[in-house]
Amino acid sequence: MIDINLIRTQPELVRENIRKKFQEKKLPLVDEALSLDARRRALTQEGDSLRASRNALSKQIGMLMREKKTEEAEKVKAQVNADAERLAEIEKEEGEVSEQLKKVMMAIPNIISPETPIGKDDSENVEGQRFLEPKVPDFEVPYHLDILEKLEGIDIDSARRTSGQGFYYLTGDVARLHSAVLAYARDFMIGKGFTYCIPPFMIRSDVVSGVMSFEEMDGMMYKIEGEDLYLIGTSEHSMIGRFMGQTIDESKLPLTLTSYSPCFRKEKGAHGIEERGIYRIHQFEKQEMIVICKPEESAEWYDKMWHYTVELFVSMGIPVRTLECCSGDLADLKYRSVDVEAWSPRQKKYFEVGSCSNLTDAQARRLNIRYKSGKGTAFAHTLNNTVVAPPRMLIAFVENHLRADGSVEIPEVLWPYMGGTKEIAPKK
């Protein structure tokens, strides 16, 4: 959510930002916000005037009663009662207008970075840097599900029977590899100075509406029937919600946190959920990183965070590249975002394995997350980034470490987490 003062003083800048995001249907929201804001301020001014008048008239009543001027005092009392009725009407309308304004403001996208390329959708995202040379082996790389099945590491059919499409069982050494990568990612981030957290896996609706747009909420979140609770789509939701309504002392910033959680996503309208494989699913686990910092520090932390993900994948011998998200591909709360993509030797192209985002103060305004300094209080900046998210990592892992005999090599950094196991051999 952007600052209402920006709409008051630079409405055309806000409109141009909406155009850059190819959301012309939202242009009327700017005028609607200005109209509601003007009405709210007028109501506030009238209410303040009536409260001041009430105080003055109350003193006048007391003086008239002491002077035995009962008739005059009763007239003043009648005026006080009339003003009280009007004040009640004002307060009710002010609350309604404020709620309408909040809904409108929450639908207006955050101002995007000057460095964000302009484009309609993800097809116009721009490649950044590449890390490690992508390789294509001299043997055919099977589909990832075929590789995992030969390792006896996955059972999709049973998951369909128990849970439906978009779920899976991991078993044996593959399940151990999955947990090993998450444990390695946890320790990797702790080594970078981040504090490890395990958050609640359900959050209330006021947190959900604070961390994402209405469109994202509808397409992602599972609601618990009969409860004001939603299953988290990523631990970022719960982690940022932890600081809702808080004012953090400047000396404690930046807060650098890394969190583990399962993630649950409806993937409503997403292509690929019905496809054979584990690229797009309803349930997975993830290691996340979250930073809450002062505004002047967020650009630096943005660069640090995506570099950490790159470093992690490179340490496991997986080639990656960065992809700068264009304006039309940015979620409404995001100021700037970069995807980290891993190389697929089978497809001979890169695919997304993580995303790093700077939301500036848009999320903090929704959740009222502030920090206190010698200059007063201000809204903090929030950032989030995927450290690693199996099972997409598993796809990149088995494809890049597959040998001609069907075995999968385990890189040295994971040996301690695999009990010394250096390869996973096919069972059939």
Structure token pair of residue 347: 């497809």
pLDDT at 162: 96
Which secondary-structure segment (H or E) carries 405? Answer: none
Three-state secondary structure call for residue 137:
coil
% residues pLDDT > 70 (the chain): 98
In the structure, what pLDDT confidence band is assigned to residue 76 with cuts at 50, 70 and 90? confident
pLDDT higher than 70, residue 398:
yes
4-107 CATH choice from 1.10.10.10, 1.10.287.40, 1.40.20.10, 3.50.50.60: 1.10.287.40
Higher local confidence (pLDDT), 86 or 139: 139
Distances (CA, A) of 25 to 15, 78, 229: 11, 50, 31
Distances (CA, A) of 88 to 41, 48, 211: 16, 12, 33
Distance CA 202, CA 229 (A): 6
Q: Which residue has the tokens 């096919």?
A: 426
322 phi and psi angles, rounded to 5 deg: -105, 150
Residue pLDDT, tens place only, 96-125: 999 999 999 999 999 999 999 999 999 999
CATH topology of domain 122-424: BirA Bifunctional Protein; domain 2 (3.30.930)
pLDDT at 270: 53
Q: What is the DSSP letter of 320?
A: E
Three-state secondary structure call for residue 115:
coil
Task: Please compute the mean of the pLDDT values over residues 230-255 and round it to a whole number.
Answer: 95
Task: Tell me how crowded residue 180 is: count the other CB atoms within 10 A of its CB.
Answer: 20
Task: Please compute the mean of the pLDDT values over residues 261-279 and round it to a whole number.
Answer: 73
pLDDT higher than 90, residue 21:
yes
In the structure, what pLDDT confidence band is assigned to residue 276 with cuts at 50, 70 and 90? confident
CB 320 within 8 A of CB 132: yes
Angle at 256 between CA 106 and CA 355, to 5 degrees: 60
pLDDT at 428: 63
CA atoms within 13 A on the CB side of 171: 14
Fold agreement (4-107, 122-424): no
pLDDT higher than 90, residue 274:
no
| Of 426, 428, 424, nearest in space to 178 by CA | 424
pTM of the entire predicted model: 0.89
Domain ranges of the chain: 4-107, 122-424
pLDDT higher than 70, residue 278:
yes
Higher local confidence (pLDDT), 32 or 59: 32
User: What is the Rg, in whole angstroms, of the alpha carbon atoms belonging to the chain?
Assistant: 28
CA atoms within 13 A on the CB side of 2: 26
Distance CA 16, CA 6 (A): 13
| CA 229 from centre of chain | 17
User: Amino acid letter at 299?
Assistant: A
% residues pLDDT > 90 (the chain): 81
pLDDT higher than 70, residue 269:
no
Task: Please compute the mean of the pLDDT values over residues 381-398 and round it to a whole number.
Answer: 94
Task: Please compute the mean of the pLDDT values over residues 174-201 and round it to a whole number.
Answer: 97
In the structure, what pLDDT confidence band is assigned to residue 413 with cuts at 50, 70 and 90? very high
Higher local confidence (pLDDT), 107 or 65: 107
Q: What strands, in cross-sheet order, belong to the sheet with 247-249?
A: 247-249, 370-373, 376-379
The region, left, alpha or beta by phi > 0 then psi within -120 to 50, assigned to residue 146 is: alpha
pLDDT at 61: 75
For the chain, what is the mean pLDDT? 93
Cα-Cα-Cα-Cα dihedral sign, residues 64, 69, 72, 77: positive
CB 206 within 8 A of CB 230: no
Task: Tell me how crowded residue 69 is: count the other CB atoms within 10 A of its CB.
Answer: 14
Structure token pair of residue 403: 């040998």
Task: Please compute the mean of the pLDDT values over residues 16-28 and round it to a whole number.
Answer: 97
Note the residue count of the chain: 428
In the structure, what pLDDT confidence band is assigned to residue 272 with cuts at 50, 70 and 90? low
- In order, the DSSP letters of 33-60 are HHHHHHHHHHHHHHHHHHHHHHHHHHHH
pLDDT at 8: 96
Task: Tell me how crowded residue 163 is: count the other CB atoms within 10 A of its CB.
Answer: 13
Angle at 147 between CA 145 and CA 150, to 5 degrees: 105
String of b and e for 105-136 (b: at least 16 CB within 10 Å)? bbbbbbbbbeebeebeeeeebeeeeebeebee
